[in-house]
Amino acid sequence: MAYKNFILVCGGTGCESSKADEIYKNLLAEAEAQGVKGEVQVVKTGCFGFCEKGPIVKVLPSESFYVEVKPSDAKEIISEQIVKGREVKRLLYKKEQQKDIVKLEDIEFYQKQFRIVLRNCGVINPENIEEYIARDGYAALEKVLFEMKPDDVIAELKTAGLRGRGGAGFPTWMKWDLTRKAAGDIKYVICNADEGDPGAYMDRSTIEGDPHSVLEAMTIAGYTIGSDKGFVYIRAEYPLAIERLKIAIAQSKAMGLLGDDILGSGFNFDIEIRLGAGAFVCGEETALMQSLEGKRGMPVPKPPFPAISGLWKKPTLINNVETYANVPVILTKGGSWFAKIGTEKSPGTKVFALTGKINNSGLVEVPMGTTLREIVFDIGGGIKDGKKFKGVQTGGPSGGIITEKDLDSPITYESLTALGSMMGSGGMIVMDEDDCVVDVSRFYMEFCVDESCGKCAPCRIGTNQMHSILTKISKSQGEMSDLDKLERIGKAMTKASLCLLGGSAANPTLSTLKHFRDEYLEHIQDRKCRAGKCKDLVVYSIDPEKCIGCGLCARRCPVNCITGEKKQAHVIDTSKCIKCGECFKVCKFNAVLKK
Amino acid sequence: MAKMTLEDLRKLRDERKKDLGRRDVEGKSVQIIVGMGTCGIAAGAKKTFDAILAAVEEFHLDKDVVIRQTGCMGLCYVEPTVEVAMPGMPATIYGKVDAAVAREIVQKHVVEKSLVENHIFDRPAADIIKR
Ligand SMILES: Cc1cc2nc3c(=O)[nH]c(=O)nc-3n(C[C@H](O)[C@H](O)[C@H](O)COP(=O)(O)O)c2cc1C
Ligand code: FES
């Protein structure tokens, strides 16, 4: 007995709450009633990343994708598709006249995601170069070496409109062009794989899943700018990525795709790996090059830009992992293909590491111009445990928080900056009502205090001062004048710091001050933390009306500060309470109060 | 492999493309692919890999099954992930595959040709590299 068809019913949280379960049961019953039980298997699946149009039902092998299915549709799906073999047209997903985000005619897809950078991740074996080659790997290099001049490569990148994915969004073609035109016979190509933004792991996953895409692009870059030497600067904390890079480099060398006289073209290029010790500042390009030279990783003033005077004072091209991973696709499919994806000023896709209080955390790659709402509520499947959405932090310690009211703005370099955040490298941390903005700002500031290289005073002293003020506020000692101080120090630091570590360290604080000023005021004036994160501002007590004296909280309390007779209301000794919140969590009668 | 010329590279690509198209590798028709990025491994992908090996042996499928590894598919919240591709069954991605589920996949999906409930996920995006 083998099934001819499979019906997948979405059992994700989004669809489950909109009757997926009933649909599933009806499908089973209908299959039985119509006598096709042996021909079709009905199963529940995980979220399809399309909750907005849920409940979702997909039928295989025909790949019919049904949206907004109702329990009463089950009968027709079985009778039409399974019995008669015809799709139920009325339920099929019709591609809406997409905004200007995706205009690709040749690919049929319903998903919100579109994978260029991650095209091979999860598809090929990263330790086998032949699998990369089979998926058009090294076809771009082939084309470049034998059919294109350096200027053609730059022209193609210009048509594509690719911008740096390391955060700042500088046009990639311009960087390549500047480095190509810079005087000097020794030049270098660097791949920035430092990825220091907490919560971000796009670059790591790209290298782990598809190392050759980066190597191929770097070789193309070498040919274009006139360099025969590349370095991948990667943090030692990424052992698996490093291992896979090593394997990939060895395989490329053995096959003549790296080294002397590549593919018999006469072009030589070699790539070495350099390990970083995992300092955030070493992701900044000038500090990275200092570190690569064996010096202490500290930024140096720009100009001169790396394109003119970079590594060992030679013209140097430095790009991010994700920037490189786009390049082979642009060259094989053409710049105008790429330019059609995303928005006019921000073409292509962006990979985000979606984490925090979100149901479907993971790596997502979406066309630029996708809205945050689509990422959080469709692809991400919404907030965990049905809690209320509070904000998304993009750009990590250099970015800001984006709130409910801006969820519908399309993601581009410009729009995120206009919202007081930034694209950053792609960390995206989702916060819910249980996250406290003061606490979050303090966390990021602490990170910057630790990671500041200490070279310039605004950053070294500013981060410290802001951190101590934020700590003070969270410890119930805040004063109204503190808010003004935070803003003044923040602005000074933004203006006067040597590099963008200090230059953007104030962003998380300034942006929460702007969007959640009322919460700062609550901390200071009412001595209250509504999220209950700032322990010094929280008091736990037991409501004697509701407490039935089950004793569960008392047994759970790690410091034994809850007492009471059996079946009598219990009390918390607040002088001993360490505010771990366990009693609050375990109480089944909502009798523990958090204020 | 010795150093290649342009011709060699093109020939190799064509050959390998045909392999991918045929869907059988080394004469084996069933491919089980385990996501082995840092996220997968942290979630226990190595144990899953071993469990698949053991199950393949248990059901005497060594001749038909090839087990491969790949990078992160993006479904980090349901790691470890496993994809099964074989004739007569739709290519399927399973998530939250611990050792027990791994065995179930080999038994139900590969041997009995039916999907394993509650662990199926969708590939997150269409493939831009057409074969
Ligand atoms: C504090 C700081 C940290 C940075 N960290 C990274 C990083 O981890 N990875 C990265 O690619 N770029 C990082 N950058 C940006 C780099 O300086 C540089 O702009 C980037 O590597 C350029 O590549 P792109 O044009 O491809 O984006 C950082 C910048 C600053 C100021
Ligand atoms: S829960 Fe069904 S598509 Fe997300």
Domains belonging to chain A, first-starting first, are 5-107 (3.40.30.10), 130-338 (3.40.50.11540), 349-405+415-432 (3.10.20.600), 437-526 (1.20.1440.230), 539-594 (3.30.70.20)
Residue of B nearest to A238 (CA): B38
Q: How far is B1 from chain A (nearest CA, A)?
A: 6
CA A456 vs. chain centroid, Å, equals 30
Measure Cα distances from A261 to A267, A379, A431, A483, B37 in Å.
Answer: 5, 45, 52, 62, 33
Say whether A593 sits in a helix, a strand or coil: strand
Residues A428-443: pLDDT tens digits? 999 999 999 999 999 9
Can you tell me which atom of ligand 1 is nearest the CA of A195? 8
**Mean pLDDT value of segment A204-223:** 96
Closest CA to A402 of A542, A515, A250: A515
The residues that bridge with A354 in the sheet, in sequence order, are A362, A428
Which helix (H) or strand (E) covers residue A452, if one does?
none
Average pLDDT, whole number, for chain A?
A: 91
Closest CA to A222 of A157, A150, A159, A172: A150
> Looking at the predicted structure, is the pLDDT value of residue B25 above 60?
no
Q: Which of A116-125, A327-336, B36-45 has the highest mean predicted lDDT (pLDDT)?
A: A327-336
**Mean pLDDT value of segment B113-128:** 86
ipTM (interface pTM): 0.86
Interface test with chain A among B17, B22, B68, B75, by most A beta carbons within 10 Å:
B75
Of A114, A130, A333, which has the smallest distance from its Cβ to B12's Cβ?
Answer: A130
- Per-residue 3-state assignment (H helix, E strand, C coil) for A284-303: CHHHHHHHHCCCCCCCCCCC
CB contact under 8 A, B3 and A255: yes
Residues A156-196: pLDDT tens digits? 999 999 999 998 899 999 999 999 999 999 999 999 999 98
**Mean pLDDT value of segment B3-11:** 91
Of A43, A134, A379, which has the smallest distance from its Cβ to B19's Cβ?
Answer: A134
Residues A28-67: pLDDT tens digits? 999 999 999 889 999 988 888 788 788 989 998 888 889 8
- The pTM score is 0.89
Least confident of A455-459, A519-523, B88-92: B88-92
Task: Tell me what pLDDT residue B22 has.
Answer: 55
Closest CA to A166 of A223, A117, A103: A117
CB contact under 8 A, A109 and B125: yes
Strands A40-45, A229-235: pairing kind: unpaired
- Using CA atoms, how far apart are residues A366 and A354, in angstroms rounded to an integer? 12
Ligand nearest to the CA of A165: 1
- A-chain residues near B110 (CB < 8 A): none
Residues B77-102: pLDDT tens digits? 899 999 998 888 888 999 999 999 99
- Per-residue 3-state assignment (H helix, E strand, C coil) for A196-227: CCCCCCHHHHHHHHCHHHHHHHHHHHHHHHCC
Q: Is the CB of B57 inside 8 Å of chain A's CB atoms?
A: no
- Give, using CA atoms, the residue closest to atom 1 of ligand 1: A501
Distance B102 CA to ligand 2 centre (A): 24
> Where does ligand 2 bind, in terms of residues with CB under 6 Å?
A 10, 12-15, 47-48, 50-51, 54, 56, 381
Task: Tell me what pLDDT residue A17 has.
Answer: 77
**Among all chains, which residue has been given the structure tokens 């570190």?**
A291
CB contact under 8 A, A109 and B126: yes
Residue-wise over A460-486: b if at least 16 C-beta within 10 A, else e?
bbbbebbbebbbbbbebebeeebbeeb
